[in-house]
Amino acid sequence: MKGVYSAPGDYIHFKSQVPLHKIPIGTKQWRYYDFGPKVVPPLICLPGTAGTADVYYKQIMSLSMKGYRVISVDIPCVWNHQEWIQSFEKFLDAIDVHHIHLYGTSLGGFLAQLFAQHRPRRVKSLILSNTFLETSRFSAAMRWAPIVGWAPSFLLKRYILTGIHDGPQEPFIADSVDFVVSQVETLSRDDLASRLAFPVDNASVGPLLLSDSLITIMDTNDYSSIPQELKDQLGERYPAARRAYLKTGGDFPFLSRPDEVNLHLQLHLRRVGVEAKPDLVRTIPKDGSGGSPGKENDEKKDHDDQPNGHGGNPESTSKESQSPPAPESSEYHGLYDQLLSSAKVISIGREDSTLMKDQLILATGVLLQLTWEFFIFSLLPIYVCSLYITENNVWKFRKLV
């Protein structure tokens, strides 16, 4: 898909305005977006196996403009659940965040529950979407799990993508699939292998100290890669949790149904006591520079606003600034409308000629990949067998001579 897929206009606009942070913590490299007033307890978004920090860009754009702080992270290269818990806790310490609200989809929802189980003091609430409680079903279905760490990149990508629903889809759902596929192409072989190692680690979520009233379960009713049986088990585990059902949306409702998902996220945050700070929303001028600090914020600095001594990406750090003076309500809504309208203008559909060119390049790439796979799995064994037969005949001939 690289070089073929055309990114949505609102995503291009998002990338031009919101910095991507990269910080090394031990041997792990963490990539994340952090946007919104620092005084607000953050909503941290955890993606699924095929996701990256970028897949939640619509939630970052919408909720941050409403006064919420949203952090979207990449799952780093960790190989088991205990390593994930320790690494994620070090990440939170590095960015100086203590109490969090977790939103996880698919594998991200499973990891969110594990962290809430083992670090209950840090997790204040959960939003779980199309996720599960235990991984035994996945480990049983993946017979080649012992060699996942040595599998080539194209096989790992193919295995991940086969889990995404295929067939006729409405445009918004098809666009969400295309976007996620483009993100899978950016993942390294180690990233892919480590994410597939999670479901075959044969772990399960134990009882949580978190009350069911602080949990929201948000599922799609059309289809997803998570079997309905596993989603039913999740509902049985948290019988008093708030339910939010989306009629359609597929595997990635945060991309295909962003308005509905953002509404449920906002309702959840209000219900668990997170107070938005729209008066502290940083302005986003067209030149991409951040707003200047105001006197009010100079007097009321939060601990999370202080510079971090653990190190981070210098470029993204330089783009951040203290929160600006409180804008008027009309200015805030005007900014939000301007952000969305400019994104819509950019996201005009492709020309027919571009589509034909893209399809031709895609078809060529698929043909080359199929040819390579055919050679590996068909011709190579024949070649090895012929070498064996030839060597055997030569040995017999020399014996006779």
List the pLDDT tens digit at each of the 401 positions of the chain: 444 567 888 999 999 999 999 999 988 899 999 999 999 999 999 998 888 999 999 999 999 999 999 999 999 988 888 899 999 999 999 999 999 999 999 999 999 999 999 999 999 999 999 999 988 777 666 666 666 667 787 888 887 777 777 666 788 998 998 899 999 888 888 888 888 877 666 788 999 999 999 999 999 988 888 888 999 999 999 999 999 999 988 889 999 999 999 999 999 999 999 999 999 887 554 433 333 333 333 333 344 444 344 444 434 433 333 333 333 333 334 444 444 444 443 333 434 444 454 555 655 565 566 566 655 666 556 655 666 676 666 666 566 65
Contact 67, 345 (CB under 8 A): no
pLDDT, residue 308, reads 41
DSSP bridge pairs for 32: 21, 73
pLDDT, residue 295, reads 35
Two tokens, residue 157 = 């990508």
Contact 221, 247 (CB under 8 A): yes
pLDDT, residue 93, reads 96
pLDDT, residue 347, reads 39
pLDDT, residue 86, reads 94
Q: How far apart, in Å, are the Cα atoms of 280 and each of 70, 96, 252, 339?
A: 14, 19, 30, 17
Two tokens, residue 59 = 């939630």
The domain covering 9-280 belongs, at the CATH homologous superfamily level, to Alpha/Beta hydrolase fold, catalytic domain (3.40.50.1820)
CA nearest to 107, candidates 262, 254, 225: 225
Alpha-carbon gap, residue 118 to 285, rounded angstroms: 42
Sequence letter at residue 162: T
What is the Cα gyration radius of the chain?
24
CA nearest to 30, candidates 70, 69, 72, 74: 74
pTM higher than 0.85, yes or no?
Answer: no
Alpha-carbon gap, residue 8 to 232, rounded angstroms: 34
**Torsion angle of alpha carbons 281, 243, 47, 134, nearest 10°?**
150
pLDDT, residue 331, reads 39
CA nearest to 230, candidates 133, 322, 102: 133
- For residue 398, the SS3 value is helix
Q: How far apart, in Å, are the Cα atoms of 30 and each of 4, 97, 291?
A: 27, 15, 26
Alpha-carbon gap, residue 383 to 101, rounded angstroms: 56
CA nearest to 96, candidates 354, 310, 264, 273: 310
